[in-house]
Chain A
């Protein structure tokens, strides 16, 4: 249904696409979407390792779900509200700059809010929840006997990590990366509330088209381009997973 609507709307000709790629405003937005999503996802991916590692290996088995929930809890509450709550903290007269002012006695303009960095920060935090969740699933199912055997044979913690945990955790981690990239590239709330409206990403432009100028075919064009982008970016990782699984079962 979704794809049908997208193709019929844009199927009249490639004019829409020519318009898209000849408009710097739009191509820049696409580029910005890509950078924002990849950088945030990368950061999220890095953060997720120690987090999942802590929950799986440092916490008693009984308490694991509780710690996981503590990390995941904000995930199922409103996106918008969380993005907005960061405004309160990051803004030039927000909590952080107030704290700095109290500590140093001089007032500083933080200048973080309404920049790309703020968007990246917000999205990375969100993505890290997703990554941690999928990585947790992979790490929890690692057979204890493997680790014990390795250790009996004299493997040090680092070796155990490199030879057992890393390869076994990788599929879960990759799934998290793909999911987080998809969420980040389609997000509108964080870029609007933290990144500001001056340098919009594609999702923001789509939102404003649908509620503003109401140019449906253009919205469909942008949506198609975004969908293709997601597929292109996600497919290498999925292929990698498939390939891995084939090899494992062979």
Chain B
């Protein structure tokens, strides 16, 4: 089919364009990683001798380490909560007949199409007008809601592909609804569930605005990085940036890999239903 759509010169042009864009996307990140090993105090070339100094500084800086663990903790809880809630929401949207289906589905997905800064401000104004003090658990709630649409979309796509006959078979063999979900649907969706947890984890781990607006003193890693960037540059930010970037890159890559590759294959001998 390729030859029908793209002739040779166009093919070369497109390939070249793709490579150029790809290198533009990754160049600054590579530069940052290289600089994180540069022993010079200032971020200028030429490159001095390599050093691990900034990474050592980073690990020794307790405020960075603390914020890392705060983020880790928050992102784990938020991703688990969002995936669990998302699974049931996706199941309901996929199988049950819901009145005003598109309205509710649109509402669940709406955080995707609202600028996140508006979500953050809205939440902040909300808690202030109700009289709650900004705190870490609010961030947890906020981030769970923020990543929920991702979980719902991914899981709904998967559940949609499970043929109805499987559920019917289970029910006619005497399994209860709960038994059905726990022992049949969850195992079938296991790779997707795993990928969804990873994906929501990375999004919540890197999330800045909600955490920034809903806390006063507790600090997550993105906030720490942001404040140290705005208040004045230190070379260890390069190290922190590189580490965080690689961390979320790898997690996200695994998640997307499962979603894009595994999902299209047959799973557990179940043919994907023609959509």
Contact = CB atoms under 8 A, between A and B. Distances in A.
Contact of B249 (A8, A67, A73): A73
Given A57-B1, A125-B25, A78 B261 contact: no
Given A58-B14, A68-B260, A220 B2 contact: no
A239 to B, nearest CB: 15
Contacts of B58: none
A220 B208 CA distance: 19
A210 to B, nearest CB: 6
B52 to A, nearest CB: 19
Interface string B24-63: 1111110110010000001111100000000000000000
B31 A182 contact: no
Chain A interface residue bracket vs B: 35 or more
A157 interface: yes
B235 to A, nearest CB: 11
A155 to B, nearest CB: 8
B85 interface: no
A178 B114 CA distance: 11
B27 A186 contact: no
B9 to A, nearest CB: 10
B187 interface: no
A54 B13 CA distance: 9
A131 B241 CA distance: 26
Interface stretch (B73-81, B122-130, B158-166, B189-197): B122-130
Given A179-B113, A219-B125, A76 B118 contact: no
Interface in A129-160: 129, 144, 147-148, 150-151, 157, 160
B132 interface: no
A168 interface: no
A182 B244 contact: no
A245 to B, nearest CB: 12
Interface residues of B, number: 71
B169 interface: no
A114 to B, nearest CB: 14
Contact of B1 (A128, A148, A211): A148
A69 B25 contact: no
A76 B248 contact: yes
B5 A161 contact: yes
B2 A203 contact: no
B237 interface: yes
Nearest to B238: A88
B199 A82 contact: no
A227 interface: yes
B125 A9 contact: yes
Contacts of A85: 28-29, 31-32, 241
B96 interface: no
B225 interface: yes
Contacts of A17: none
Interface in B241-274: 241, 244-245, 248-249, 252-253, 256-257, 260-261
Nearest to B125: A5
A98 B241 contact: no
Given A147-B5, A161-B5, A6 B125 contact: yes
Given A77-B245, A84-B237, A95-B45, A5 B31 contact: no
* Shortest Cβ-Cβ A-B pairs, 3 listed: A186-B115, A2-B122, A65-B260
